Chain A
Amino acid sequence: MEDKVLEIAGVNKYFYNPQQMQVLKDISFSITAGTFAALTGKSGSGKSTLLYLLSTMDTDFEGSIRIHGEEVRGKPGPWLARFRNEHIGFVFQFHYLLPEFTALDNVKLPALKRGRLSGEAATQKACDLLELLGVKDQAGKRTALLSGGQQQRVAIARALINDPLIIMGDEPTGNLDSYNAGLVFDLFKKISSENGQTILMVTHDEDFARRTDRMIHLVDGKIA
């Protein structure tokens, strides 16, 4: 049997506000390690909601989500925080960096939180990642001063620093121009094939989605 990084079985998700509405309907699938998967669907199909469930940031659902063999449902907050820190790298649609900190600090923080690398090693690794993403010259700047594309690349570096099992992206290339979006896409591709890290990316872009290893298409909360 292949190594299943992500196993989802019978996941239902409801929104209660303004009225009860079922967003996800009996979702079940699994992803093997090293896969570059794309989650697609129309606006409102529930793809972002599903990604948030998988990222363990949203814990209000029915069913079972197993990441790296661990059932995340019903786990306490501190356990989830630690799990996210070590195994999940998340890239938001809008960069979401801490504006008071420098680009370097933003990338370093998850590593410092994890505490496995020394301060110097974390700095070195953060620098390498920034270089890889082509924003090393911006390392010392406060992120509020960076352009949108630069911020997004810093955010990706941040998601990579702890060598997570899974990197999740909520339209990570959504607000990048096509050149930068292409670069980011190629980078993800490289990571998944070379490092064996799993990538799950929500995207609108049919073109990118077709170039991934696997496409999961959602229609009205169901896998189509």
Chain B
Amino acid sequence: MNRLQFYIAFTHMRSKLKQTIVATAGVAFGIAVFIFMVSFIVGVGEYTWAVSMSQTPDVRLYNEVSANEVSILQQQYPADVNIVHHVKPKEEMLNLKDGRQAVKQLSQDPRVQAVAASLSTQVFYHLGAVNINGRILGIDVEAEDRLFNLSDKIITGSLEQLSTRPNSLVMGAGLARKLNVSTGDHLTVTTNRGGSFLVTVTGIFKTGLTAIDDEQSYASLNTVQRLLGVPASYITDIKVRLHDNEQAPELAAAWARRFDYSASDWQQDNATLLASERLRSLIVYGVAVTILMVAGFGIFNILTMMIYEKMKDIAILKAMGFSDRDVRWIFLAQALTIGVAGALAGLCFGFLMAWGISKVPYKSDIMISLDHLPVSFDIIYYVTAFCFGLITTTLAGFLPSRKAAKLDPINIIRG
């Protein structure tokens, strides 16, 4: 390849300027739509993923209640047939044995970013005649905030008061609406052990996850321990955030063995979410590849047409002493130019479209932290689009140009 072939290629394109522009616009359109679609779909996906994951720790350690314990009789006479009627689970503490110690040890682990102990209990909320079943999560306020950025989710009131003010709680927005309470109101909660306590609402939060917002309140660990009448060492869950969350399954299993707790990791807890995320990216790429293929076929058509129009010129060039290779390069250069120019223009337009839509105000009741449409600006999609655009145009140009190169000049001249 040298400058001469490019010169001929450019003269061809300049003389068919309109056709060239249409072909370039076709590529640009395909690439732009690809960028736009992918940015938007991925942006939304990432946002919903972040929302769902915001309340999920990487590793969760807890105690599981199990009723099917092996009876003493069975342990004594394993070979015999032992029948015990009406086996009931025995009273079992749900707390984690030596939970405080475990928290301390975990917080010293270099792989761990943050640890928070918590205590969860079922309660009834009473206000006037209304009784609502729900949950209170006793938390170490500072640690929990570090893990889940709770303070960002507070709509009214404050999180800090939880630790300073006894019998106070921060309530989910859905729950507060049902109970018709707001910050500063008092209400009664009843635990499943029968005790009733007067509590004060010091704040309202909203995570965007209905399951949490409609049922849950946060209180300090002390408050919940007092409600349940348990000692200060009593905790039911340890939540861990890791530096690298890919290690979660491995560490969860290791810690479960080490502390003799049950453990689950974020992948187990979000199996359906993960699966749907994978499906979604499959759809994104399906759509994207289709768009780019359509653009590729457009180029293929236009180049084939251009070559048919140039049959006679090909024969003349060959008669002048241009080789098959030269002819191939002349047409491939046109395809490449259209491809590169179209891909670059497409990237610019795609970026502008994505940028434009990311500035569109968008309010949603469910996603409170959202004020504009979520759009991803990951460079990898731009690189993918450019490469794919280039490869498609090269292929689309290569086939007709090879055909042009193979033409026997004499057959064209004879007609």
Chain A positions within 8 Å of B, measured between CB atoms, are: 52, 55, 57-58, 77-78, 81-86, 88, 90, 92, 96-101, 105, 109-110, 112-114, 158, 162
Contact B313 A55 (CB under 8 A): no
Contact with A along B295-329 (1 / 0, CB 8 A): 00000000000000000110111111111111000
Chain B residues with CB under 8 Å of A114's CB are: 321
Contact A78 B325 (CB under 8 A): yes
Q: Please name 15 pairs of A and B residues whose Cβ atoms are closer than 8 Å in the assembled complex, sorted by A.
A: A52-B413, A77-B323, A78-B323, A81-B321, A83-B321, A84-B320, A85-B322, A92-B413, A96-B312, A96-B319, A98-B316, A98-B317, A99-B313, A100-B15, A158-B320
Q: Which residue of A lies closest to B13 (CB)?
A: A100
Report the separation of the CA atoms of residues A97 and B312 in the bound assembly, to the nearest whole angstrom. Answer: 9
- Given known pairs A57-B410, A96-B316, A112-B4, the reply for A101 and B321 (CB within 8 Å) is no
Contact B323 A100 (CB under 8 A): no
Other 5 A-B pairs with CB < 8 A, given A96-B316, A109-B4, A113-B326: A58-B408, A82-B323, A85-B322, A98-B317, A110-B321
Chain B residues with CB under 8 Å of A52's CB are: 410, 413
Contact A58 B410 (CB under 8 A): yes
Chain B residues with CB under 8 Å of A110's CB are: 320-321
Contact A97 B410 (CB under 8 A): no
Q: Which residue of A lies closest to B2 (CB)?
A: A115
In order of increasing CB-CB distance, the 4 nearest A-B pairs are A85-B321, A81-B323, A100-B15, A84-B321
**B12 lies within 8 A of chain A by Cβ:** yes
Chain A residues with CB under 8 Å of B324's CB are: 77-78, 81
Q: Which residue of B lies closest to A92 (CB)?
A: B413
Contact A57 B409 (CB under 8 A): yes
**Main DSSP-derived SS at the A contact region:** helix
- Smallest beta-carbon distance A160→chain B, Å: 12
Report the separation of the CA atoms of residues A162 and B322 in the bound assembly, to the nearest whole angstrom. Answer: 13
**B11 lies within 8 A of chain A by Cβ:** yes
Contact B410 A90 (CB under 8 A): no
- Smallest beta-carbon distance B389→chain A, Å: 27
Q: Which residue of B lies closest to A53 (CB)?
A: B410
Chain A residues with CB under 8 Å of B15's CB are: 99-100
Q: Which residue of A lies closest to B312 (CB)?
A: A96
Identify which of A58, A83, A85 contacts B320 (C-beta below 8 A).
Answer: A85
- Smallest beta-carbon distance B186→chain A, Å: 88
Chain B residues with CB under 8 Å of A85's CB are: 320-322
Q: Which residue of B lies closest to A90 (CB)?
A: B319
Report the separation of the CA atoms of residues A85 and B4 in the bound assembly, to the nearest whole angstrom. Answer: 14
Contact B325 A113 (CB under 8 A): no
Report the separation of the CA atoms of residues A109 and B4 in the bound assembly, to the nearest whole angstrom. Answer: 8
Q: Which residue of B lies closest to A110 (CB)?
A: B320
- Smallest beta-carbon distance A53→chain B, Å: 9
Report the separation of the CA atoms of residues A113 and B323 in the bound assembly, to the nearest whole angstrom. Answer: 10
Chain B residues with CB under 8 Å of A55's CB are: 319
- Given known pairs A100-B12, A100-B15, A101-B11, the reply for A109 and B409 (CB within 8 Å) is no
Report the separation of the CA atoms of residues A77 and B407 in the bound assembly, to the nearest whole angstrom. Answer: 12
Chain A residues with CB under 8 Å of B316's CB are: 96-98
Chain B residues with CB under 8 Å of A57's CB are: 318-319, 409-410, 413
Q: Which residue of A lies closest to B3 (CB)?
A: A112
Identify which of A86, A100, A113, A162 contacts B4 (C-beta below 8 A).
Answer: A113
Q: Which residue of B lies closest to A155 (CB)?
A: B316
Identify which of B11, B319, B326, B413 contacts A84 (C-beta below 8 A).
Answer: B319
- Smallest beta-carbon distance B209→chain A, Å: 65
Contact A86 B410 (CB under 8 A): no
Contact B318 A81 (CB under 8 A): yes
Contact A113 B320 (CB under 8 A): yes
Contact with A along B1-41 (1 / 0, CB 8 A): 00010001001101100000000000000000000000000
